[in-house]
């Protein structure tokens, strides 16, 4: 599908409150077909998310340690997580130390997911994900681990006010750019 048709279809699904505020841009180079492309999602004419086929990927966090030390990231710990670590350590670790181990493991997994998701943001990936978004349900897109699917679903008009308000806890575990678009949508309600 051509970029203009894809853009037109994506913008037809925008929430009425975000129509004209959120734009999908892909400046093309007509005479350089082999040149890598750049794609933007912009809000109020400011480029918020930049996707490029070049090797410079978006980096919200530079290292795993920065993610681990960020106090704003709250990872929920369940009793099942503690029991799994207790089983791994054969019950020889004190209870208060188990919580620290579980938090460290879950934060490390979260950091790896964030960094791998950021590495896949490119213009060619955007067109693939946008086509996938157009052919799947909004529920699948919002539940997905893919950053772009989450963003496209959050700005979709088919997601209502009640659902937006009910997903605030779930959004705390998402990538910061997904949280940005969640707040943008929530503030337009």
pLDDT in tens, 31-85: 455 555 678 899 999 988 887 755 444 454 555 677 777 777 777 888 999 999 9
Distance of CA 80 to the CA centre of its chain: 26
Give the CA count within 13 Å in the CB-facing half-sphere of 67. 24
pLDDT in tens, 115-142: 666 656 666 678 888 999 999 999 999 9
Global pTM? Answer: 0.69
Burial of residue 189, with CB atoms counted within 10 A of its CB: 0-12 exposed, 13-18 middle, 19 or more buried: exposed
| Domain extents in the chain | 3-58+121-187, 64-108
Dihedral sign computed on CA atoms, order 19, 175, 70, 61: negative
Q: Is 57 left (phi over 0), alpha (psi -120 to 50) or beta?
A: beta
């Amino acid at each position: 599908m051509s970029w203009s048709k894809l853009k037109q279809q994506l913008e037809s699904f925008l929430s009425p409150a975000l129509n004209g505020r959120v734009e999908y841009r892909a400046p093309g180079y007509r005479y350089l077909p082999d040149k890598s492309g750049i794609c933007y999602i912009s809000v109020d004419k400011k480029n918020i998310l930049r996707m490029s086929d070049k090797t410079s990927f978006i980096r919200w966090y530079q290292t795993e340690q920065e993610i681990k030390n960020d106090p704003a990231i709250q990872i929920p710990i369940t009793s099942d997580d503690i029991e799994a670590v207790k089983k791994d350590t054969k019950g020889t670790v004190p209870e208060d130390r188990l919580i620290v181990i579980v938090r460290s493991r879950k934060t490390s997994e979260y950091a790896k997911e964030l960094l791998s998701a950021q590495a896949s943001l490119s213009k060619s990936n955007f067109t693939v994900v946008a086509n996938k978004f157009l052919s799947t349900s909004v529920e699948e897109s919002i539940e997905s681990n893919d950053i772009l699917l989450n963003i496209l679903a959050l700005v979709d008009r088919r997601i209502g006010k009640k659902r937006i308000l009910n997903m605030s806890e779930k959004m705390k575990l998402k990538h910061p750019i997904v949280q940005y678009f969640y707040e943008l949508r929530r503030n337009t309600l």
